[in-house]
Amino acid sequence: MLHYKAYFLDLDGTVYKGSTPIKEAVEFVNYLQTNGVEPFFVTNNSSKTQKQLQEKLANMGVHTDSEHIITSSIAASNYIDEHFKGKSVFMIGEKGLEDALDSKQIKRTEGIAEVVVMGIDHHINYEKLATACISIREGAAFISTNSDHAFPTERGLVPGNGAFTKLVEHSTGIEPMFMGKPQPYMLEIIQKKYGFDKEDMIMIGDNYQTDILTGIHMGIHTAHVNSGVIRTEDVRNQLEQPTYFLESLSEWIK
Ligand SMILES: [Mg+2]
């Protein structure tokens, strides 16, 4: 299955499940690399840095450089650098977002700002939400890393960044701009950087609402893999179908 030059792989539910690697995906990545293709890893997770994700993958037998890992935080910092250069930024988020902003020398403030960027923050509180809301009401651009309402943990589903973003949206009446999947912005950054043609790109993931729609919005081929949150039978009910249905990525190792 070496039709493509750029393989974009979702992480959770596709390459691993929490802290457990998915064997077939690890083998698939190794197979691509043996054949001279370096895949890209695309995640809505805004809390982790590229380096942290690189280490997590390495512990699972997936070796890649941080250039091939893109997060919604990287997309957000690129976007702010491109559209709001020199503006003051108020951040709600963790190390992943902090490092991404630092890498573009984006200066942050603790007070009212011209840009508000929100990513998951396990220490979010009323004061941070108030500063975000007041800034936005005073005209700040409103950027959010991703719209995921919930994400799975050992305890069950817990609120995701999309839920807190919704709170700020509800209070201000202003809609945010989302950077992560299903928006194609992360893929566009890589396409721009490496100059891929759309017919050479494929998005692979377990979640129709994020991964497959990202590929569809981008206008590239997609593969749904039945290893994560959304089962094949539920994807078959969708109006726009992925290009391929796979039980596991081992189907593509020939
Ligand atoms: Mg997933």
The arrangement of secondary structure in 83-178, i.e. its CATH architecture, is: 3-Layer(aba) Sandwich (3.40)
Superfamily (CATH H level) for 6-44+181-252: HAD superfamily/HAD-like (3.40.50.1000)
**Ligand 1 center from residue 208 Cα (angstroms):** 9
Beta strands (DSSP E) in the chain are 6-10, 16-17, 20-21, 40-43, 69-71, 89-92, 115-118, 141-144, 150-153, 156-159, 177-178, 201-205, 221-225, 244-246
65 annotated among ligand-binding-site residues: no
Specify the pairing of strand 150-153 against strand 156-159.
antiparallel
**Ligand 1 center from residue 120 Cα (angstroms):** 17
87 annotated among ligand-binding-site residues: no
3-44 per-position pLDDT tens digit: 899 999 999 999 998 889 999 999 999 999 999 999 999 999
Query: Can you give the pTM of this predicted structure?
Result: 0.94
148 annotated among ligand-binding-site residues: no
Do the domains at 6-44+181-252 and 83-178 have one common CATH topology?
yes
Question: Annotated catalytic sites, by residue?
Answer: 10, 12
pLDDT over 90 percentage in the chain: 91
Domains of the chain, residue spans: 6-44+181-252, 83-178
134-173 per-position pLDDT tens digit: 999 999 999 999 999 988 777 888 999 999 999 999 999 9
**Ligand 1 center from residue 205 Cα (angstroms):** 6
**Ligand 1 center from residue 111 Cα (angstroms):** 35
Spell out the SS3 assignment of 107-121: CECCCCCCEEEECCC
211 annotated among ligand-binding-site residues: no
